[in-house]
Amino acid sequence: MHVVLVGAGGLGGPLALALAAAGAELTIYDDDVVDASNLHRQLQFTLDDLGQPKAEVLAQAVRRRGGAAKARLQRWTAELARGASAPKGGNVGGDVDGDVSVIVDGSDDPLTKFAVADWAAQRRIPSVVAGALGLGGNVFVSAPGAACFRCLFENPPQEAASCAQAGVLGPVVAAVAAVAARAALGLAAGDFSDAGSIWVIDAWQAPRRVPVLPRPGCPGCSDSSTRPLQTPAVVA
């Protein structure tokens, strides 16, 4: 089970530890370094890590716990994704070995999320896109034949606040990451019952799952090479 994890911050930390504990081999993408403002919500880091690359520090934390992880000190961009030439079973960005079971986004940048989701849809690889802000977050789950990220959100927003700008309650990222990790492990095991849905999480109620139907003409997944004719069954 090989999981590409994009983002090594508030969501990426608990995601990496949970996925690795379940036996996933990780390739972690992040171009940022640890800052003191991260520490209240990015519990995989300490004061000793300030100024160090987040992806490498997180990969080391996974390896110390007996897991397998590689760090890629770069941002996942549309340009990098276009350079990932192989379909499912190939390399990502030319530097990831082996098949990709699922790709998971835990970044706080909309352009990154769309780049991850588009790459997954075009190459028929299951994906999970998670976000957290303020007192809540969401987890979008997709797989071949189900609605993709663009079916719901269509295009990146012109402006979007980051966690650093708008703030996020520390425990919220752990709650969102737990839902995302569960979804990713299910996809990697061949359980697509959550595919084509978004989990909505907030601090005041239990997570709820909202089904999303494929959008006709969606540029992310509507061509015949990426979407089968049938619509997947919705599982409550």
With cut-offs at 50, 70 and 90, classify the pLDDT of residue 173: confident
The larger pLDDT score, comparing residue 35 to residue 138, is at: 138
| Token reading at 146 | 């189900």
The larger pLDDT score, comparing residue 35 to residue 117, is at: 117
The set of residues, in sequence order, having a beta carbon less than 8 Å from that of 47 and lying 6+ positions away, is 36, 39
End-to-end CA separation in angstroms for the chain: 27
Q: What gap in Å lies between CA 87 and CA 179, rounded to an integer?
A: 27
Q: What pLDDT is stored for residue 55 in this prediction?
A: 93
Q: What is the pTM of this model?
A: 0.83
Domain range list for the chain: 2-211
Q: What is the tens place of the pLDDT at every residue in 194-216?
A: 999 999 998 788 889 999 999 99
Q: Which CATH superfamily is domain 2-211 in?
A: NAD(P)-binding Rossmann-like Domain (3.40.50.720)
